Amino acid sequence: MIKDTGEQPVEVVVFDLNGTFYNRSSKEEFYKFLVSKNPSRLKYLWEMSYYYLQLKLHQIKQTEFKENFFNYLDDIPPPEVKQYAQEFWEREFPQQFNRALLERFDEFRKKGVPLFCATGGFELYVKPLFGIYKIDGFAGTQVSYTGETYKVLGKACKDEEKIRRLELFLKGKPYRIIEAYSDSKEEILDRAEKAFLIKNGKIIPYIPKD
């Protein structure tokens, strides 16, 4: 938790990426993009489906799921992944992004309100997006390239980990999440003064259940 230092709290807007700001699932769409560039990557499809089912059945945790689902990046060094990601996001933005949220975020940018994206996606391929659309900070799942595969560093960026990464970004300053957006119930919504769910592209007020 942020300590009370007597400073004026920073007002910040926090949002998820997949199914929220980005209308699609980046982990799946990026895979399709890679297959279009290198059809041999199709060999990972069965493996990805298996780990997705394991996650749905609560047989594995998010961190283990991400390490295995993203095996489709095996043998592709980080600089090459980043190049693919740059091309991918240039193709997707802004057509595949939530237009209402884009307009809302542009308003916050004009007012100088910090925008922070917290996503479970790998920072490795998400980062190029925010070179195209500038925001103040973002956190994703961090990875290392070891033995020609990607390993998650620490925890996947989900739930309370998103809050921890936000607080790291703010460097201990007190803060208020004045608005938060996600496609599913999560910690950032419960912490926000105004929270919204994105359902089928529509922005719906989120009402926490007791």
Cβ atoms within 10 Å, residue 37: 10
- Report the candidate in 18, 19, 58 with the shortest Cα–Cα distance to residue 141: 18
pTM (global) more than 0.75 = yes
Do the domain assignments include residue 1? no
**Comparing C-alpha atoms, which of 87, 49, 62, 72 is closest to residue 161?**
62
| 2 within a domain of the structure (yes/no) | no
Residue 40 lies in a domain: yes
Answer yes or no: is 171 within a domain. Answer: yes
The predicted-structure confidence for 21-72, as pLDDT tens digits, reads as follows: 999 999 999 999 999 999 989 988 888 888 888 888 888 888 888 888 889 9
- Of 198, 180, 133, 130, residue with least CA distance to 11: 180
Please report how many Cα atoms fall inside a 13 Å half-sphere around the Cα of residue 112, on the Cβ side: 1
pLDDT in tens, 154-178: 999 999 999 999 999 999 999 999 9
Query: ∠ CA(114), CA(2), CA(64), 5° rounding?
Result: 80
Q: Which domain CATH number covers 22?
A: 3.40.50.1000
pLDDT for 80-139, tens place per residue? 999 999 999 999 999 999 999 999 999 999 999 999 999 999 999 999 999 999 999 999
Does residue 4 belong to any structural domain of this protein? no
What DSSP state is assigned to residue 167?
Answer: H
What does pLDDT average to over the chain? 93
- Indicate the number of domains in the chain: 1
Q: Which of 169, 101, 91 is nearest to 132 (CA)?
A: 91
Domain assignment of residue 122, given as a range: 10-205
pLDDT score at 3: 45
Are the CB atoms for 135 and 116 separated by under 8 Å?
A: yes
Looking up tokens 């003064």 gives 193
Residue 3 is assigned to a structural domain of this protein:
no
